[in-house]
Structure 1
Amino acid sequence: MIRIFRILAFFLFVACHLAFLLSILFEKVHNFWLISGIIISTGLITYAYYHKNTQEEAHFLNDLQDIVYVSLGALLTYFISVDLELGAVIAAGFTGTVASYLPVIFRKSSWIKRVPVAAYCGAFVGMTAPAVSLGYTFIIFSAFLTGALFISAKNVFNGFGGKLGTIAFGGVALSSLIVYLLF
């Protein structure tokens, strides 16, 4: 069952990348060959990454903690950005900086080492514009979905840039779709 979730997370991750790239291309570029090249490149990269060996981990409590850390990072960033009116970039930078120093401050705590990456992923969720987010309820829902994607994709694309932002984009986009379909 866990393997099925990992496979679904992998393809959802790739689909988010492809949807994002295609939306940019269709909006700004009307070159068939460029669009075809990106689709073919994405397909080849997907094939290569899918066949890469990954180690499976099953740590239920750690995974739940990661969802909490993603949510806390999202809420802190959104609070600083919207309520304190400092802007999304400053808020995400502050959240990421504070989260990165926690393992240094609390050296004896082994669980705190998991906080920086998850909280920074949540910071990307917290950067959601107020016009899109509709408040804290949406941010919490998006953070929960992003946390689920985060733990599902923890052994996918390790060491490649853009993973955390793409996971956050996927969580917010999925939340927006659900809210749009329900309301």
Structure 2
Amino acid sequence: MIHTVILIFTGVFGSLLTYYFNNKLKLGGVLSSSLLTCIVAGFIHFFPTYIPEQLANHIPLIFIGSSFVGMVSSHQLSTFIGVSLSGLVYSLIYINTSQFFDGFGGALGTSACISLLVIMSIPYLRSNQKLTLGYFQLRKMMFKNIKKSKK
């Protein structure tokens, strides 16, 4: 039970830290994710006696995946609450499905993408005009790309 809480906290903390480094300190998504992941993985590698083996096997993976969540642009997800909820969803996905993804590449990134999509879709699901709102969002994205390509 306590291990699960620690893993969930790691996911939320990893996504928030990466988001902060990426969007507030302007380090960029890749640098933010890799820097923080190296710190966490280095700590676990050089000080293995401080962390139980079960946690030491999962914390780096959860932190890496949650740092993928934190790489989201502030234009797409602008609140720390949304990022922390995405980190929570990512942690729950990892805890419940990690045994199924053994040996498959891209599982952490895919899980991070799913967790972001879940949180980003909440405003659309709460709207009474789901189809209209989705249509206008799609149209806005299409015309935005067309205007950029003409320049």
Normalising by structure 2, what TM-score? 0.76
CA distance in structure 2 between the aligned counterparts of 1:94 and 1:146, rounded to whole angstroms: 20
TM superposition shift of 1:100? 1.2
- Among 56, 62, 66, the residue aligned to 1:118: 62
TM superposition shift of 1:181? 2.0
Is 1:146 matched up with 2:90? Answer: yes
Deviations 1:57-107 (A, max 9, x none): xxx332222111111111111111011001111111112111211212322
- The 5 A counterparts of 1:1-183 are 60-111=1-52, 113=56, 114-182=58-126
CA distance in structure 2 between the aligned counterparts of 1:121 and 1:137, rounded to whole angstroms: 18
Q: Which runs of 5+ in 1 are unaligned?
A: 1-59
CA distance in structure 1 between the aligned counterparts of 2:123 and 2:92, rounded to whole angstroms: 17
- Which residue of structure 2 lines up, in the alignment, with residue 45 of structure 1? none
CA distance in structure 1 between the aligned counterparts of 2:67 and 2:33, rounded to whole angstroms: 5
8 Å Cα contact 1:102-1:116 kept in structure 2: no
Deviations 1:7-61 (A, max 9, x none): xxxxxxxxxxxxxxxxxxxxxxxxxxxxxxxxxxxxxxxxxxxxxxxxxxxxx33
The residue matched to 1:132 in structure 2 has which SS? coil
CA distance in structure 2 between the aligned counterparts of 1:105 and 1:83, rounded to whole angstroms: 30
CA distance in structure 2 between the aligned counterparts of 1:131 and 1:180, rounded to whole angstroms: 17
Identity among equivalent positions (%) equals 24
- Which residue of structure 2 lines up, in the alignment, with residue 56 of structure 1? none
TM superposition shift of 1:179? 3.1
CA distance in structure 2 between the aligned counterparts of 1:104 and 1:144, rounded to whole angstroms: 25
Count of aligned positions: 124
Q: Which runs of 5+ in 2 are unaligned?
A: 128-151
Q: What is the one-letter code of the residue matched to 1:150?
A: Y
* Coordinate RMSD, CA, aligned: 1.5
> Following superposition, which runs of at least 4 residues in structure 1 exceed 3 angstroms of deviation?
none
Normalising by structure 1, what TM-score? 0.63
